Structures are given as structure tokens and as C-alpha cells.
């Protein structure tokens, strides 16, 4: 973390923000009755990803940061599962955006895993 002056410099945080924006765009078209159910859960999981990255960075130790990266990874997998459920329920109208989000999730997962390994070594 010595070369990083701010959590906003972290590519994993930046990608997390992009992911949140894309997710919010996707769920706009979900059924209104899902607003306080699956839609809300999806939004919370997405927001949790960059939030935990920034919180972990703010703890100022590699061990704490690593712990929060683990939480962020869990939120990422939670988001992926919820999006699969939404697609199976035919809530997803924009398949192109859905596929972009799936790619972002895969990329973010690899980046979090690599960054976490670096911190643990």
C-alpha cells in the first residue's frame, strides 16, 4: 500500500464504482413490486463492493484491508447470484448490459483475488 496515496487510486475500487453504476442502470427496468425485494438486495450488494474496499483501505493495516477485501469478494458473489436469479425470473430486459455486468464481475473478482494475495504475502 506504500505507493497508493488514496483508496480512489485503487483500480479495484474504480471498477467497483463502475459496477455499481451499471447495476443501477440494469435494475431500473425491474418490476416495481421487486423494488423493496430483489432490486434492493442487488443494489446493496453492489454498493458494498467498493464500500468495503475503501473501508479496508482506511483501516490502515494489510491484515484489516485483506479482511475487508474478503467481505467485498463475498458481496461480489452475492451480487452475481442475485443477478442470475433476476435473469432466470426474466426481470433482465437489457441483455447487453447484463452481459457487461457479468464481465465486470469476473474482472473484479480476479483483481480482488490478486490484490488480496499481494497483501497476504
Q: In the chain, which residue ranges form alpha helices assigned H by DSSP?
A: 11-27, 38-58, 62-88, 95-120
Is the pLDDT at 105 greater than 80? The verdict is yes
Statement: residue 21 has pLDDT above 70: yes
Q: Is the pLDDT at 119 greater than 70, yes or no?
A: yes
Dist. CA 65–CA 53, nearest whole Å: 7
In the predicted model, is pLDDT for residue 101 greater than 60?
yes
Residue 11 Cα distances to 92, 100, 110, 111, angstroms: 28, 17, 12, 8
Exposure string for 14-45, b = 16+ CB within 10 A, e = fewer: ebbbebbebbeebbeebeeebeeebbebbbeb
CA atoms within 13 A on the CB side of 89: 13
Task: Give the pLDDT band (50/70/90) at residue 15.
Answer: very high
Q: What confidence tier does 19 reach under pLDDT thresholds 50, 70, 90?
A: very high
Mean local confidence (pLDDT), 89-114: 97
Q: Please report the pLDDT score of residue 2 as a whole number.
A: 53
pLDDT digits (tens, 9 = 90+) for 27-57: 999 999 988 899 999 999 999 999 999 999 9
Alpha carbons within 13 A on the beta-carbon side of 2: 1
For residue 29 the three cell numbers come to 427496468
| CA 84/CA 86 separation, integer angstroms | 5
Q: What is the pLDDT of residues 60-87, one digit of tens each?
A: 899 999 999 999 999 999 999 999 999 9
Q: Return mean pLDDT, the chain.
A: 94
Amino acid at each position: 500500500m506504500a505507493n497508493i496515496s488514496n483508496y480512489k487510486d485503487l483500480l479495484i475500487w474504480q471498477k467497483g464504482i463502475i459496477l455499481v453504476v451499471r447495476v443501477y442502470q440494469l435494475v431500473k427496468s425491474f418490476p416495481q413490486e421487486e423494488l423493496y425485494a430483489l432490486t434492493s438486495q442487488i443494489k446493496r450488494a453492489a454498493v458494498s463492493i467498493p464500500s468495503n474496499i475503501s473501508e479496508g483501505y482506511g483501516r490502515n493495516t494489510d491484515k484489516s484491508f485483506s479482511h475487508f477485501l474478503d467481505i467485498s469478494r463475498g458481496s461480489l458473489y452475492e451480487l452475481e447470484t442475485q443477478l442470475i436469479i433476476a435473469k432466470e425470473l426474466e426481470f433482465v430486459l437489457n441483455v447487453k448490459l447484463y452481459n457487461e455486468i457479468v464481465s465486470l464481475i469476473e474482472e473484479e473478482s480476479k483483481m480482488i483475488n490478486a490484490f488480496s494475495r499481494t497483501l497476504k504475502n
